[in-house]
Amino acid sequence: MAASETTVKLERVSKSFGEFTAVRELSLDVRAGRVFGLLGPNGAGKTTTIRMIVNITAPDSGTILLFGRHIDADLQDRIGYLPEERGLYRRMRVADQLRFFAEIKNMRGKKVDAKIDEWLARVKLSEWKNKRSMELSKGMQQKIQFITAVIHDPDVLILDEPFSGLDPVNVELLKEIVLDLKRAGKTIIFSTHQMEVAEKICDDICLLNRSQKVFEGSLRDIKRSFGRNAVAVRCEGGDGVLDDPALVSKVVRHADEAQALLAAGADAQTLLKRLIDSGAVIGKFEMMEPSLNDIFITKVTEPA
């Protein structure tokens, strides 16, 4: 799916609550068969944007198109939404619960039961089918919530912080499912502030900060535009060199290695030379792409 169609399109969408502008003049293009990362710090306007896409709130101005149409009840049924704030009916049995969520997406009849079994098997919770959700662990509840978003086989899947609070095994499980859905040609909007997750899963990203779009594009393009200006260094001694602001704008020290972001005008060769000159014993010196996290922090802390 090289040139996939635009499924969700926002044009100059704004929304304010009283004095506070939650989203300002936001335009987006989300394409089918790709994972679109809606990134930004808390309060950037991600959730408001999503609520407008799923028709929970209406924008003050601008247009939102799904499959080229304005949202209506039929289109709403083609969306699967897993909000950041989510829950289950505590006393309701898992299967009843899933059937209810399918019904309110206008999916009824025998095929619902088949879907319930299929999805429970897929997230390895088949034996919990007739348990009440209050008997499930938090992680299990998360997976059931995930199913509520996909049970009706939506064309657009919107996931708001889907992996928060999950253990790594289950994160991997859900990530695989999301990638499978993407391969099946679904449009996936993925909202998070966990950049490491976004980096592994998103094809395109849009970074929001203070109600506005900071940039939008494919992850690859964004990284390329930032250049390879980060270096991973493992060395003994030579600490003073990494702290020289003329060479390194920022250094993050991990357990046994440091990540240095080169200062403007400095290059890696000079840094390596200086380290050797200072008598440091170098175990590793590697040019790195900037992590999404670095880009995020750079952009967010940049003066507007």
Partner 1 sequence: MKKFLSVVRREYIQRVRTKMFIVSTVLLPAVMSLFVVVPALILSIETPPMRVAVVDQTGRMYSQIRQSLSNEQAEPDAQNANAGPQRMPRRSFSKFVMEEVSAGSQSLDQIRASLDQRLQSRELDGYVILPPDFLSQGKAEFVNRNPGDLFSTRVLQSAINRAAREQRLVDAKVDTQTRQELFKPVELQSVKIGTGGQEPESGGGSFALVFGIGFVMYLAILMYGQIVLGAVIEEKETRIAEILFSSVKPFALMMGKLVGVSLVALTQLAIWGLAFSVFALYGVGILASQGTRANIPSIPFSHYIYFGLFFLLGYFIYATIYALVGSMVTTAQEGGQLAMPIILILVVSFYLFWPVSRSPDSPFSFWVSMIPFTAPVAMLVRIVTQTPPFWQIALSLLIGFSSVLLIMWVAARIYRVGMLMYGKRASIPEAIRWARQA
CA distance linking residue 299 with residue 291, whole number of Å: 12
160: exposed, middle or buried (Cβ count in 10 Å: 0-12, 13-18, 19+): buried
Q: Which is nearer to partner 1, 97 or 229 (CB)?
A: 97
Query: Which of 66, 234, 278 shows the shortest CA–CA distance to 154?
Result: 66
Binding mask 30-59 for partner 1 (x = CB under 8 A): ---------------------x--xxx---
**Tokens encoding 289:** 């792409």
Of 65, 92, 251, 300, the one binding partner 1 (CB under 8 A) is 92
Minimum CB separation from partner 1 for residue 100, in Å? 5
The yes or no reply on residue 101 touching partner 1 (CB under 8 A) is yes
Minimum CB separation from partner 1 for residue 64, in Å? 14
**Which H or E element spans position 65?**
strand 61-66
Of 68, 87, 168, 303, the one binding partner 1 (CB under 8 A) is 87
The yes or no reply on residue 89 touching partner 1 (CB under 8 A) is yes
Number of neighbouring beta carbons within 10 Å of residue 26: 25
Of 67, 100, 215, 226, the one binding partner 1 (CB under 8 A) is 100
Query: Which of 26, 39, 83, 33 shows the shortest CA–CA distance to 188?
Result: 33
Minimum CB separation from partner 1 for residue 171, in Å? 21
Amino acid at 129: K
Number of neighbouring beta carbons within 10 Å of residue 47: 20
Minimum CB separation from partner 1 for residue 257, in Å? 41
Q: Which is nearer to partner 1, 145 or 259 (CB)?
A: 145
The yes or no reply on residue 260 touching partner 1 (CB under 8 A) is no
Minimum CB separation from partner 1 for residue 103, in Å? 4
The yes or no reply on residue 165 touching partner 1 (CB under 8 A) is no
List phi, psi (to 5°) of 295: -60, -45
Distances (CA, A) of 35 to 108, 136, 147, 171, 207: 28, 30, 18, 16, 14
Asked whether 38 and 209 are in contact (CB, 8 A), the reply is no
Q: Which residues, 172 to 231, sit near partner 1 by CB under 8 A?
A: none
∠ CA 25-198-290, rounded to 5°: 95
CA distance linking residue 68 with residue 8, whole number of Å: 8
Q: What is the DSSP letter of 132?
A: B
Q: Which residues, 106 to 135, sit near partner 1 by CB under 8 A?
A: 106, 108
Q: Binding-site residue total for partner 1 (CB under 8 A)?
A: 30
Q: Which residues, 56 to 85, sit near partner 1 by CB under 8 A?
A: 56, 73, 76-77, 79, 81-83, 85
Q: Which is nearer to partner 1, 21 or 55 (CB)?
A: 55
Of 9, 24, 86, 122, the one binding partner 1 (CB under 8 A) is 86
Site for partner 1, rule CB under 8 A: 51, 54-56, 73, 76-77, 79, 81-83, 85-92, 96, 100-101, 103-106, 108, 145, 148-149
